[in-house]
C-alpha cells in the first residue's frame, strides 16, 4: 500500500486497463503506511516496514518484540498497536506498541482480557476497539476497548455473533463488525456498536460471506473487499460498499487479484489493497481503487511475502508528523 495523491501519470492504452500497472504520483508529505507481519518461511520472525513516499520504496523498521501471527494491527495517534495473535506455541493476550517518532517497540500497554488470535481491531474517537477472535478452541464474542489516556481496557457488551477473522471499521459514530467466520461457516452478518447506547445492533448483511476480508471507511461509506467464502472459493476478488443511509450493500468493482487476508487501508484519500493469499500464493502485489474509472489498478507491492500481516496508517498534519 502506498501514499498516493488522486493524480496518476498517464499510461499507454491497453486492452485490459484493469490489469495494467500504473505509475502513481505520490504526495511526499502525506500519510504513512506501515505493515507489520510475519514473512513466509520456517522460523520467520515478525518484521515491520514503512512506505517512503519520497522514494516510493519500502524501508525496514525495528523488529517487534514478539513474533505474532494473526494479530490485530491498528494505528492510533502516533503509534501502531499489535493486539493478541499467536507466537507459534500459544495464543497471546499481550499488546505491543510501535512508537513511530522513535522507531521503537514498547510493551507499555495493558493486556487484553484473554488470549486470542484473529481479533478484529479499529480506532474510534481516540479509543482502540477489539472484538471477536479465536482462542485456539472456540470462536469468541468478547468485545473491549482501550483508552490510551487511562491506560486500561474496558469490557463492552459481547458481540451478538461469535466471529473470528472478521473486520472492524468506524463510520458515522458507530463501530461496525463485519463478516468473519464462526470456525465452520463464513459469515455475511454485520453488527454495529452504538457507544452512547452501549449496545450492538444488527446491520445490513454482506452480499457475499467473507472471512479474512479487508474493510475500510471511505467517503462516508464502508468498503469490504476480498476474503474467502470457502468451500466455494478460497479467495475472492469482489468488493462491495455500504452507504449507511441506504441500508444495503451494493457491488463494487473486482480487484485485479483474488486476496484473502489482505491489508486494506485509506492512504491520502485512496483505497489501497495489498498482499494476501490468492488460494495458491502469498502475494506481494498492491493495487489501488481508481475512483473516476471505478476500477482497481496495480502499482507495485511489498518487499516480502507474508503469511500473516496487518496494516496501519499514521496521518500527517501541519502541526507535526502525526495527529492524535
State residue 143's pLDDT score.
Answer: 99
User: Greater confidence, 193 or 268?
Assistant: 193
Phi, psi dihedrals of residue 18, rounded to the nearest 5°: -55, -35
Is residue 242's pLDDT more than 50? Answer: yes
Is residue 177's pLDDT more than 50? Answer: yes
State residue 31's pLDDT score.
Answer: 80
What is the band of 301 on the pLDDT scale with cuts at 50, 70, 90?
confident
Answer whether 0.85 is exceeded by the pTM. Answer: yes
Could you tell me the domains of the chain?
30-38+45-314 (2.120.10.80)
**Alpha-carbon span 32 to 220, nearest angstrom:** 22
Is residue 74's pLDDT more than 90? Answer: yes
The length of the chain, given as a count of residues? 324
Q: Average pLDDT, whole number, for the chain?
A: 86
pLDDT in tens, 266-295: 988 889 999 999 999 999 999 999 999 999
State residue 38's pLDDT score.
Answer: 85
| Mean pLDDT of all residues in 49-66 | 80
Instruction: Tell me, letter by letter, the H, E, C secondary structure of the chain.
Output: CCCCCCCECCCCCCCCHHHCECCECCCCCCCEEEEEEEECCCCCCCEEEEEECCCCEEEECCCCCCCCECCEEEEECCEEEEECCECCCCECCCEEEEEHHHCEEECCCCCCCCCCECCEEEEECCEEEEECCECCCCECCCEEEEECCCCEEEECCCCCCCCECCEEEEECCEEEEECCECCCCECCCEEEEECCCCEEEEECCCCCCCECCEEEEECCEEEEECCECCCCCCCCCCEEEEEHHHCEEEEECCCCCCCECCEEEEECCEEEEECCECCCCECCEEEEEECCCCEEEEEEECCCCEEEEEEEEECCECCECCCC
What is the band of 55 on the pLDDT scale with cuts at 50, 70, 90?
low
What is the band of 319 on the pLDDT scale with cuts at 50, 70, 90?
very low
State residue 299's pLDDT score.
Answer: 81
Q: What percent of the chain has pLDDT over 90?
A: 69
| Mean pLDDT of all residues in 228-244 | 89
Amino acid at each position: 500500500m502506498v501514499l498516493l495523491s488522486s493524480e496518476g501519470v498517464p499510461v499507454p492504452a491497453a486492452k485490459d486497463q484493469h490489469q495494467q500497472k500504473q505509475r502513481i504520483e505520490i504526495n511526499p508529505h502525506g500519510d504513512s503506511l506501515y505493515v507489520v507481519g510475519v514473512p513466509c518461511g520456517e522460523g520467520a520472525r515478525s518484521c515491520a516496514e514503512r512506505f517512503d513516499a519520497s522514494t516510493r520504496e519500502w524501508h525496514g523498521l525495528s523488529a517487534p518484540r514478539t513474533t505474532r501471527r494473526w494479530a490485530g494491527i491498528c494505528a492510533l495517534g502516533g503509534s501502531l498497536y499489535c493486539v493478541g495473535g499467536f507466537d507459534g506455541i500459544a495464543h497471546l493476550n499481550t499488546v505491543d506498541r510501535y512508537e513511530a517518532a522513535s522507531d521503537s517497540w514498547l510493551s507499555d500497554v495493558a493486556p487484553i482480557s484473554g488470549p486470542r488470535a484473529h481479533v478484529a481491531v479499529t480506532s474510534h474517537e481516540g479509543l482502540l476497539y477489539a472484538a471477536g477472535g479465536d482462542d485456539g478452541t472456540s470462536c469468541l464474542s468478547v468485545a473491549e476497548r482501550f483508552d490510551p489516556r487511562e491506560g486500561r481496557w474496558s469490557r463492552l457488551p459481547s458481540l451478538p455473533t461469535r466471529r473470528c477473522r472478521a473486520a472492524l471499521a468506524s463510520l458515522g459514530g458507530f463501530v461496525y463488525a463485519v463478516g468473519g467466520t464462526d470456525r465452520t461457516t463464513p459469515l455475511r452478518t454485520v453488527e454495529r456498536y452504538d457507544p452512547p447506547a452501549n449496545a450492538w445492533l444488527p446491520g445490513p448483511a454482506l452480499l457475499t460471506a467473507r472471512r479474512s476480508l479487508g474493510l475500510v471507511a471511505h467517503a462516508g461509506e464502508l468498503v469490504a473487499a476480498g476474503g474467502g467464502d470457502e468451500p466455494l472459493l478460497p479467495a475472492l476478488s469482489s468488493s462491495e460498499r455500504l452507504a449507511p443511509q441506504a441500508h444495503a450493500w451494493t457491488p463494487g468493482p473486482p480487484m485485479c487479484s483474488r486476496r484473502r487476508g489482505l491489508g486494506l487501508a485509506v492512504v491520502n484519500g485512496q483505497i489501497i489493497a495489498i498482499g494476501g493469499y490468492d488460494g495458491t500464493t502469498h502475494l506481494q502485489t498492491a493495487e489501488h481503487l481508481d475512483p473516476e474509472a471505478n476500477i482497481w489498478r496495480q502499482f507495485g507491492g511489498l518487499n516480502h511475502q507474508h503469511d500473516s500481516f496487518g496494516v496501519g496508517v499514521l496521518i500527517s498534519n501541519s502541526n507535526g508528523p502525526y495527529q492524535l
